């Protein structure tokens, strides 16, 4: 089945995992009713809490997470592939894992991925983020097979690191993903161009569900969940920051066509990078 319907669920997660799960369940059901075979939720679907201490009080091991407990039987009931963009779960070492889960129509976890790149930055508007103080970074890129395509898993800030996506494309991924909780400031500046760039340079679809709006913990995220085709065209977008869902038809034959027209992966060559020595008075 080279074609399937993909959906993004846009959330505005708060501090209570069970409440976030209830909201997400309703939106997932709506997307499935509209015909979605693959449904993706955003980064930190289960909880958004800025305080490390409060976060640690509200999260649990994956086996006890309310969002995952909702998602697994729901995937079976609806007969869908459910990609939980990420959950904050206890990593077992005093830190937290920002972990994505791919759940099959049988309810089994087919793959999981821990966010590799940590967002440590001081923004001009006064916001400061130190993800590495709380989260344990992942150390492996992950691709997994859906019944209808090969999918690469990534999370939010990873979208700024092209090597992950190129590695996944080389491994046969036709669908790349970037579920996110982009801040409004960085989203307005970079969200669309980053998604389109990853699609164009790899000749792949990019599917990225997003958090959006003013959250209970005081942060504000950009929203604008979107799906980009292998030519870099945005084929579906939520042009707002409100909770909801969007759908698009995905035809994996378009990946083949794009990679034939621009065979960037096939044309890659190994090379070294050298720093040129100062000419020391010589003229060219």
pLDDT for 255 equals 98
Q: Which two tokens stand for residue 208?
A: 């990225």
Distance CA 72, CA 154 (A): 20
Give the catalytic positions in this structure.
Answer: 43, 115, 156
**Which range of residues forms the domain containing residue 38?**
3-267
Residue 281 falls inside a structural domain: no
Distance CA 77, CA 99 (A): 23
Residue 276 falls inside a structural domain: no
pLDDT for 284 equals 53
Domain at 239, CATH number: 3.60.110.10
Number of domains in the chain: 1
Cβ-based neighbour number of residue 192 at 10 Å: 15
Which phi and psi angles does 44 have, rounded to 5°?
Answer: 55, 45
Q: Which two tokens stand for residue 102?
A: 């791919």
Q: What is the pLDDT along the chain (284 residues), one digit of tens a residue?
A: 579 999 999 999 999 999 999 999 999 999 999 999 999 999 999 999 989 999 999 999 999 999 999 999 999 999 999 999 999 999 988 899 999 999 999 999 999 999 999 988 887 877 777 888 899 999 999 999 999 999 999 999 999 999 999 999 999 999 999 999 999 999 999 999 999 999 999 999 999 999 999 999 999 999 999 999 999 999 999 999 999 999 999 999 999 999 999 999 999 999 999 998 765 555 55
Residue 278 falls inside a structural domain: no
Residue 274 falls inside a structural domain: no
Q: Which two tokens stand for residue 24?
A: 């997400």
Could you say which DSSP state residue 184 is in? H
Distance CA 30, CA 264 (A): 38
């Amino acid at each position: 089945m080279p074609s399937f319907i993909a959906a993004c669920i846009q959330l505005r997660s708060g501090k209570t995992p069970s409440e976030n799960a209830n909201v997400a369940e309703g939106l997932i059901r709506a997307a499935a009713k509209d015909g979605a075979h693959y449904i993706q939720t955003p980064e930190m679907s289960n909880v958004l809490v800025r305080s490390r201490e409060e976060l640690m009080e509200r999260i649990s091991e994956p086996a006890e997470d309310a969002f995952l407990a909702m998602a697994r039987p729901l995937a079976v009931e609806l007969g869908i592939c459910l990609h939980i963009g990420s959950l904050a779960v206890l990593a077992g070492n005093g830190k937290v894992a920002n972990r994505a889960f791919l759940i099959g129509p049988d309810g089994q976890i087919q793959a999981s991925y821990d966010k590799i790149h940590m967002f440590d930055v001081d923004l001009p508007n006064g916001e400061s983020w130190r993800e590495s103080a709380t989260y344990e970074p992942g150390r492996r890129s992950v691709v997994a097979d859906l019944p209808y395509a090969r999918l690469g898993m990534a999370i939010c800030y990873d979208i700024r690191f092209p090597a992950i996506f190129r590695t996944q494309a080389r491994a046969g991924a036709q669908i790349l993903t970037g579920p996110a909780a982009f801040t409004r400031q960085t989203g307005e500046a970079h969200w669309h161009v980053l998604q389109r760039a990853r699609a164009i340079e790899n000749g792949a679809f990019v599917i990225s569900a997003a958090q959006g709006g003013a959250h209970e913990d005081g942060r504000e995220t950009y929203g604008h969940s979107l799906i980009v085709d292998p030519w870099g065209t945005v084929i579906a977008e939520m042009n707002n920051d409100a909770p909801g869902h969007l759908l698009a038809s995905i035809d994996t034959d378009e990946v083949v066509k794009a990679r034939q027209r621009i065979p960037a992966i096939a044309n890659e060559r190994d090379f070294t990078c050298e720093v040129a020595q100062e000419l020391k008075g010589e003229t060219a």
